[in-house]
A = this chain, B = another copy of it.
Amino acid sequence: MPGPRGPVWWHGRFRGCGYRITLGREAILHVLTRAEAHLSAEDIYLKVHPSCPSVGLTTIYRTLELLVDMGLVHKFDFGDGRARYELAEGPKKEGHHHHLVCTSCKRVINYTDFIDEELEFLKRAEEGLAKKYQFDITNHMIQFYGMCDNCRKKKA
């Protein structure tokens, strides 16, 4: 069952880096691929466990670090004390989104609005910053913080 990016799209990337393809890594990538959004390491562990009880939390952390370094996964901090992970999307717009974080209940909403103008702004900013600061920019993060509807009503 080939995924949206072709059959086992990441095997090539792994082989190219000399990384081995293991059961645990397969399972973790599998979970990330179908994840709705931003899972914590433990979330992933729990989702992997039923089918692969032999995969430990340590491996989850190690694999996530690897994936983040490879750029296949993005790591986020929404302020609740644990990191969250999401599969990086392709370079085009499909799936590209950012986060709206409620500072009160920590709920996170993915939004995909304003992506066009955002992309334009980001493109120019990245080019300018890369040149000015001699930075090789590979990623960006945009988040908005505030209070969600629910929490606002509760306070009132």
Contacts and interface: CB of A to CB of B under 8 A. Distances in A.
A41 to B, nearest CB: 14
Nearest to A107: B135
Contact of A138 (B103, B126, B130, B132): B103
Interface in A100-156: 100, 102-103, 109, 111, 113-114, 117-118, 121, 124-126, 128-130, 132-149, 152
A121 B98 CA distance: 14
Given A75-B79, A103-B138, A138-B103, A144 B132 contact: no
A89 interface: no
A42 interface: no
Interface of A: 75, 77, 79, 100, 102-103, 109, 111, 113-114, 117-118, 121, 124-126, 128-130, 132-149, 152
A111 B130 CA distance: 11
A148 B100 CA distance: 29
